[in-house]
Amino acid sequence: MSVLERDPGDLVQVLDEDGAVVGELPDIGDETIVQMYRDMVLARHFDKRAVSLQRQGRMGTYPPLSGQEAAQIGSAHALGDDDWLFPSYREHGASFVRGIPLDQTLLYWMGHEAGNKVPDDVNVFPVAVPIATQTLHATGAAWAASLKGDTDTAMLCYFGDGATSEGDFHEALNFAGVFDTPSVFFCNNNQWAISVPREHQTASETIAQKATAYGFEGVQVDGMDPLAVYKVTREALEKATAAAPPDSGRRPTLIEAVQYRFGAHTTADDPSVYRDAEEVERWQAKDPIPRLESFCRDRGLLDDESIEAIDTDVTDRVAEAIESAESVARPLPEALFESVYETMPDRHHDQLAEIEALRAEHGDEVFFE
């Protein structure tokens, strides 16, 4: 039986918290599993360095991802070459897997518009900070693919549990269900929408079961188990494309990845105000990185030497990305207006005039003090 045919409340799991196999392994090669481990370690280290940069005043507000590496890396590795990724604002790890350079992600959070320009050969949409708007973009793109007769491309759209309370989410899923768009909706249920707990977000027993109202399947997966996430996402992508069995038809899927963010919602947030330490410790016992490491060690895919080599490589790559991003000149205030309007309104012309007056009196240094 396909994992997508299970009850939405039946959690799909491949590895338990200790990395032991408790479910059916996905059809995936050992090299890919090791690469997933490497990418998860990279995402965690990048995250720690990015938070440190923000605390030092070297970067703007940043949304940490620690704890969510399995959901991001496992699902991104399941994508086919022609598939598209629609991120929210926390998918730094998934975007990197799909080809977004680390230094470009840093530039984005440093306030450079250049950080929002996706390379031409990378199938990733720009970061979406407004909540749930990307669900409509993803459904629209999926419908366009269907209208063009493209049967090989699916759209994977990420969002948080808080987004499921937005109208955009329901409109996107309703449209996808009616028109059978090649869509995979991926909810990163990290238990908290900023300071709003999961139980105050919806009275539904699961988020996955919301798919039933729109006429397609929903599945709940252990979001801190990278192999389970890969398995579920791969099957959902196949169901959305021509890889679906002839008798089942191409259909959307809603995935609820149950997980936890270890840190703050963003660096502007203090989670200790609304979460207790015992809850955090309980979820940290499910940490996806040592979980996959244990599995790989048991299978002879990793040992102390190879893990040390991965750690060294990751440290060097992130350091190089930081050096590259910080070597780019800081944007001048005029950049605030360059990508907002085709024709600027009068009020912005007035603000630009104020900037020029400040520059004439004090020089550009006044903007960076």
| 261 has catalytic annotation | yes
Q: Which of 44, 265, 275, 291 is catalytic?
A: 265
| 170 has catalytic annotation | no
Task: Read off the amino acid at residue 214.
Answer: Y
Q: Indicate the DSSP class of residue 257.
A: E
- The closest alpha carbon to 104, from 119, 125, 121, belongs to 119
C-alpha span between 343 and 345 (Å, rounded): 7
Strand extents, DSSP E, the chain: 84-86, 155-160, 183-189, 192-193, 196-197, 217-222, 253-258
C-alpha span between 14 and 221 (Å, rounded): 9
Q: Which of 55, 200, 274, 362 is catalytic?
A: 274
Task: Read off the amino acid at residue 126.
Answer: P
Q: Which of 92, 234, 250, 261 is catalytic?
A: 261
**DSSP SS3 for 94:** helix
Q: Are strands 192-193 and 155-160 parallel, antiparallel or unpaired?
A: unpaired
Which phi and psi angles does 154 have, rounded to 5°? -120, 160
Q: Which two tokens stand for residue 352?
A: 């630009």
| 250 has catalytic annotation | no
Question: Residue 127: in which H helix or E strand, if any?
Answer: none
Q: Which two tokens stand for residue 14?
A: 């491949």
For helices 226-240 and 30-55, give the axis angle rounded to 10 degrees.
110
Q: Which residues, including other chains, have CB under 8 Å from residue 182's CB and lie 6 or more apart?
A: 142, 145, 146, 151, 153, 154, 155, 240, 241, 250, 252
Active-site residue list: 261, 265, 274
